[in-house]
Amino acid sequence: MPSFPLKPQQFLRIFFVGLALATPLIPSARAGDEDQQAYCKYVTQQAAAQRDLLRTPDAIGGFTQPNTGLPTQVVWGLTGSLSNVRKGTLTMDAARKDCELYSATASAQQAIQYAIPNLEKQALQNRLTLIQRASENLDTLVATTAKMVDAQNMTRPMAFALQTTKIKLEADRADTQSKIAAIYTPQLNDKPVKDLVAEKQAREVNERTAIYKLNRQNDWDVALSVGAHQQVNPLLGGPGAYGEVTVSYNLASHAINKHLDQSAAAYDDWKKVQEGDVIRNADVLKQQLVDTISVQDNRLKALQEQQKQIENNLQLLGRAETSAALDFGNQLSTAKLVLQIEIGDATFRLDQLKDFLSRNF
């Protein structure tokens, strides 16, 4: 009897290679768990369809002309492949690993992408608290000055200078609130960035291993065919049964597997330097944090130097008795209130950045 070899499952190989290449191209902003669940459902259903295709035997039928000179025969039956059954299991495993990789990558990308906006939002909220505190202290100073104006110890233009500071504080408050409203920060994973990146790398190794196992399954095959045959012309006798086992092995398997191993190493090297991948982005974020800490540290030192000068002037002024001295004292006090906002802001940002850097890297 002639053999009926199966068609190569090229679609299977192309499908999962496409999935592997598409994984790094995850959008920068996601809807969290809903996005991951939707993607996993899509991948699982695609893999289930391919699994059912691989596991189900093919129905065959046709005509054959035996080379022994016998009359033409019609043949029909079923043919299946042990390799395809194994591929069906590996296909589902690869889909699960791809789903896990997608989820780990999405979590790591979100943590990296929204790290600085989240820190900025917290710093701005702290600045609102500082502005409120300074505004309350300024109100106390305004009330004291108003009494002195009523007692004719100070002029109204001197008191008006405090009102301009109040206006600046309210403008600062409105600007800070606008910045907070403009920053979007989703609910992020509580794990440190270094752990999320490590988890993503581990999931990536698992996913690539599953893909390689699937590809290596093409090295061999055992095809089984069963059915019946019937002489066509002249139509004599009843149909006869037949069975066939075909064993195949790809002679280039060793070379193919060697290239697959080399591609795995090359893939790891690529991921470490790929722009847009979480490993590279984590390094960029770390450097941004280090540079920002340096900037905030220099800013804080400069502000503290200004604060020392104001404190020295207040000490030299002592107990003000003249209207000019009282006016200068108010100017120093308002400058001190504004400066306290900036110092508090810089201090909070510096401590926040250092804490984030130590916890996440």
What is the pLDDT confidence band of residue 216, given thresholds at 50, 70 and 90? confident
| Residue after which a domain boundary falls, among 228, 252, 274 | 274
My answer on whether 212 and 310 are in the same domain is: no
My answer on whether 145 and 170 are in the same domain is: yes
The burial of 138, by beta-carbon neighbours within 10 Å (0-12 exposed, 13-18 middle, 19 or more buried), is given as buried
My answer on whether 203 and 167 are in the same domain is: no
Residue 319 has pLDDT above 80, yes or no: no
Order of strands, sheet of 73-81, starting from the edge strand that comes earlier in the sequence: 58-64, 73-81, 220-231, 240-249
pLDDT at 125: 97
User: Is residue 3 in some structural domain?
Assistant: no
User: Is residue 2 in some structural domain?
Assistant: no
pLDDT at 190: 87
My answer on whether 258 and 301 are in the same domain is: no
Residue 9 has pLDDT above 50, yes or no: no
pTM of the model: 0.73
What is the pLDDT confidence band of residue 150, given thresholds at 50, 70 and 90? low
My answer on whether 216 and 73 are in the same domain is: yes
**Least confident piece of the model among 11-20, 289-298, 327-336:** 11-20
Residue 4 has pLDDT above 60, yes or no: no
User: Is residue 194 in some structural domain?
Assistant: yes
Residue 356 has pLDDT above 50, yes or no: yes
User: Is residue 267 in some structural domain?
Assistant: yes
My answer on whether 121 and 215 are in the same domain is: no
Residue 97 has pLDDT above 90, yes or no: yes
- In the chain, how many domains are there? 2
| Residue after which a domain boundary falls, among 274, 292, 322 | 274
pLDDT at 153: 59
pLDDT 10s digits, 44-91:
999 999 999 999 999 988 888 777 667 788 889 999 999 999 999 999
pLDDT 10s digits, 243-287:
889 899 888 888 888 888 888 788 878 877 777 788 889 999 999
My answer on whether 296 and 173 are in the same domain is: yes
My answer on whether 64 and 84 are in the same domain is: yes
Q: Which domain holds residue 123?
A: 116-185+283-360
pLDDT at 107: 92
What's the chain's average pLDDT? 84
Please check whether residue 100 is in contact with residue 206, taking contact to mean a CB–CB distance below 8 angstroms: yes
My answer on whether 262 and 293 are in the same domain is: no
